[in-house]
Amino acid sequence: MENFVVSARKYRPATFDSVIGQEHITQTLKNAIKQNQVAHAFLFCGPRGVGKTTCARILAKTINCTNISADSEACNECESCKAFNGNGSFNIYELDAASNNSVEDIRSLSEQVRYAPQGAKYKIYIIDEVHMLSAQAFNAFLKTLEEPPPYAKFILATTERHKILPTILSRCQVFDFHRIKIEDAVKQLKKIITSEGIVAEEEALHEIAQKADGAMRDALSIFDRIVSSTGKNITYKDVINNLNILDYDYYFKAVDRMIQKDLAEMLLLFDEVLSNGFDAQHFLSGFSDHIRNLTVCKYPNTLRLLEATPSVSEKFITQSKLCSNSILLNALNLLNKCELEYKSSKNQRLHVELTLMKLCHIQSVIDLKSEAADIKKKTPEQPVIPTSEIVEPTKPKLPEANTIKSVEQNLEIKNIVVKPLPPLIRPTSEISTQSKLEKLKQLVTVGKNENSLAEKTATIESSEESENNILTDEQFSTAINNYIEHLTSSGKKSLISIYKNAKFQVSENQIVEMILSSLHEKEMFEDDKVQITPFMRKIFGNQFEFKIIVNQSALPKKAFTAEEKFIVMSNKNPVLLDLRNVLGLEFE
C-alpha cells in the first residue's frame, strides 16, 4: 500500500510560474534575480495558505541554482537543485520560530552564519512564523540581520506583521501576499481533478474555493476530504452536505416569498432550514450575502463583484430585475440589524421570524411612504390673512367628539398636516358698539409690536375723553393680562411667571402696588419697567406708577414636595385620602 500524499504537498508549486495568485511578488523576485539585485533579507507577510513558505523555498532554490534559465527559473538539473529537491541541501536551513523562539536558538543561528556555504553561492535561512520570536530573541537577531556576511540570505515569513518589531521591518524587503481569488482557486482545482482523473461539477469546485476563504491550502484540504467521502465523482449536493452548507436555492426561494408578500411560506421555509440542522444565524448571514449579490447585479459595472458560477450568476441577474433598489437596501438593513441583535435576543427564533415578517411587508411600507409623500406635495397651502384685518372670532358650533376623532385618524393615515382655520373677520359695525375694555383687548391681541399697540390704545383714549379716567381693578386686570399676552408672543417666560404670581392692589392717584416674593423678582421687574410703564401710561395716563413691595409671606406657599402636592390635590378631591388609606400608601 502506497503512502498517501495530500494534495497540498503533492501539487505544491516548484517554480515561480506555478505559484497561484501572487504574480506581483513572483515577477518582482524574478526581476531581482535577473538583475542580480537580491536583497540580504526578505519578509513575506500574508494570511495562511497563500504561498509564503512556498515562495521562500523557490527563491532559495533559484538563487543557488548554477544554471538559471532565461526567465529566472531554477533548472532542476544542477547539484544544488537536486539536493534541494531531495531535501538534502546543506546550504538552505528552515527554522520554525514557533518552537525555536528563545535567545539561545537565535545565538546558535548566528554562530552558523559565520561558516561559508559548501558547494553553493549562498547560505539561506528560512524562518517561518517569525512573529513568535521573543523580544530578546529579536534584539539578538538585529545585528546579524543588519550586517550579515555577503553569502548569507534571510527569508522571514509571518501571518501577523503587526507583531514584528519596527527595527526588524526596516532591515527587510517586505512583500505582502494576497488572498487567493476564487477563480484562481477553481482553475487550480480543475488542473488537479484532470491529473487525478476525477469528475466534478463546476459549482462544486466553486463552493470549495468559496469555503476556503482565500487560502489555497485550505481549498486542497477540503478537496481531499470531499474525494475521500464521495470518490471520483463530485457533485454540488455532495459538497454542501459534506461541508454543512445551506443550499443557495433556499435564499432564492426566500426572496421570491418576499416579493410575493407570502408570509406563511416564508415562515415554513425558515422552519425547514432549522429542521435540516442549520443555525438561524447561519441562515441570516447567508441571506445577507444573497441580498448583497442581488444588489451587485443591479449595476453592469459592479457585476464583476459577483463571485458565482455562470449558471448561478444568471439566476442572480434574473431575480435582481424583480427587486427594486429600495427593497434590496431596506432588506439588507433589516437583516444586518437582526444579525447584530441575534445573540442578545432571548427568543432567537421569534427574533428572526419577526424580521422575515417585516421583509414580506417591506414593499407595502415603501408604497405607503411614497403615497404619503405625494399627498403632502399635492396639499395646497392655506392663504395668509393680514394681521391688521383679524379680530377675535366668534365661537362656532363644534362637531361631535366621535366625528373629530374619525377625521383626525383619517388625516393621520394619509400623512396630511392639519392646519388651523383662519380667524373670522367681523364687520366694522360691531366694533363701534364695543366697550372700552373690549376694544383694548382686541387691539392688544391683534398688535404684534409695542409701538402699534400703544398708538391704537391712545386712539381709544382720545376718542373717549369725556369718560371718567379713574383707574379701577377691572381695568388694570385687563391691561396686565393683555401685557402678559404680549410677553407670551415675545417668549419672555420668566416675566410672565412673575406677573401671574404677583399680587396687585390699585390705590389712588393712578398708583398700583405690586407685591413680589423675592428681591430677584424685583430686579427682573426693574429691568422690564422701561417697557411696562409706557405701556400702562398710554392707557391710564402719565400719572400712572408702580409701587413695589417685597413680601414673601403675603404670597401663597407653593407645593414642592410630594407630600405637599398630595395635600393640595386632596383638598380639591377628598377621595384621594380614602384611596390612600385603602391602599396603605406612604411617602418615600
CA separation for the pair 104, 85 (Å, rounded):
30
Domain-located, residue 43: yes
Q: What is the pLDDT of residue 384?
A: 47
Same domain, 210 and 299: no
pLDDT digits (tens, 9 = 90+) for 442-493: 544 544 444 444 444 444 444 344 344 567 778 888 888 888 888 887 777 7
The yes-or-no verdict on residue 305 having pLDDT over 80 is: yes
Other beta carbons within 10 Å of 118: 8
Poorest-pLDDT segment among 181-185, 307-311, 344-348:
307-311
Residue % of the chain over a pLDDT of 70: 81
Is the pLDDT score of 299 beyond 60? yes
Same domain? For 539 and 584 the reply is no
Least confident range of 232-246, 344-358, 405-419: 405-419
- Residue predicted with more confidence, 432 or 210: 210
User: What is the rounded average pLDDT of the residues 213-218?
Assistant: 91
What average pLDDT does this structure show over 264-279? 92
User: Is 221 contained in some domain?
Assistant: yes
Look at 218-232, 390-404, 492-506, 508-522 and tell me which has the smallest mean pLDDT. 390-404
In a domain, 27, yes or no: yes
Same domain flag for 12 and 128: yes
Residue found under cell 541541501: 89
CATH number of the domain where residue 221 is located: 1.10.8.60
As a whole number, mean pLDDT of residues 424-440 equals: 45
**Can you tell me the distance from the alpha carbon of 453 to that of 103, in angstroms, rounded to the nearest whole number?**
94
CATH of the domain at 118: 3.40.50.300
User: Which domain-ending residue is among 145, 176, 207?
Assistant: 176
- Measure the CA–CA gap between 259 and 262, rounded to whole angstroms: 8
Residue where one domain finishes, among candidates 301, 328, 360: 360
| For range 522-528, the mean pLDDT | 82
Of 87-91, 239-243, 268-272, 392-396, the least confident:
392-396
For 572, the domain range is: 558-588
Does residue 2 sit within a domain?
no
Query: Per residue in 541-584, pLDDT tens?
Result: 777 788 888 875 544 555 567 777 888 888 888 888 878 887 77
Q: What is the pLDDT of residues 95-124, one digit of tens each?
A: 999 888 889 989 999 888 988 888 888 999
pLDDT score recorded for residue 433: 39
- pLDDT value of residue 288: 94
Q: Are residues 353 and 441 in the same domain?
A: no
Q: Is residue 482 part of a domain?
A: yes
228 and 138 within one domain = no
Residues 549 and 564 placed together within one structural domain of the fold: no
C-alpha 164/C-alpha 142 separation (Å) is 12
Same domain for 169 and 200, yes or no, is no
Total domains, the chain: 5
Region 264-291: mean pLDDT is: 92
What pLDDT sits at residue 552? 58
- Cell numbers linked to 543: 400719572
Confidence of residue 20 (pLDDT cuts 50, 70, 90): very high
Would you call 194 helix, strand, or coil by DSSP? helix
Residue bearing the bigger pLDDT, 20 or 419:
20
Is the same domain home to 153 and 15? yes
Per-residue pLDDT, 404? 43
Question: What's the pLDDT at 458?
Answer: 45
Contact 78, 119 (CB under 8 A): no
Please give the average per-residue pLDDT across 275-285, as a whole number: 90
pLDDT at 550: 80
201, part of any domain: yes
Handedness of CA 402, 405, 411, 416 (dihedral sign): positive
Backbone angles phi, psi at 512, to 5 degrees: -120, 125
More confident residue, 255 or 476: 255
Does the residue 368 lie in any domain? no
Reply yes or no on whether the pLDDT at 10 is more than 70: yes
pTM value? 0.59
CATH number at residue 315: 1.20.272.10
Kindly report the backbone phi and psi dihedral angles of residue 111, in degrees, each rounded to the nearest multiple of 5, phi listed first.
-65, -40
The answer on 329 and 203 residing in a single domain is no
Kindly write down the DSSP assignment for every residue of 418-467, as one continuous string.
P-PPPPP---HHHHTTS-HHHHHHHHHHH--SHHHHHHHHHHHHHHTTTS
- Report if residue 383 sits inside a domain: no
Within this chain, do residues 145 and 17 fall inside the same structural domain, yes or no? yes
| pLDDT at 392 exceeding the cut of 50 | no
More confident residue, 519 or 469: 519
Q: Are residues 129 and 12 in the same domain?
A: yes
Query: Which pLDDT does position 469 carry in this prediction?
Result: 54
At 24, which amino acid appears? H
The mean pLDDT value for 4-23 works out to: 90
Domain end (from 343, 360, 377):
360
Region 12-36: what's the mean pLDDT? 92
* 514, 547 contact by CB (below 8 A): yes
- 562 C-beta neighbours (distance < 10 Å), count: 10
Distance CA 95, CA 158 (A): 12
Lowest-confidence region among 143-147, 230-234, 409-413: 409-413
Mean pLDDT over all residues of the chain? Answer: 81
Give CA–CA dist 451/458, Å, rounded. 11
* 36 and 163 belong to one structural domain: yes
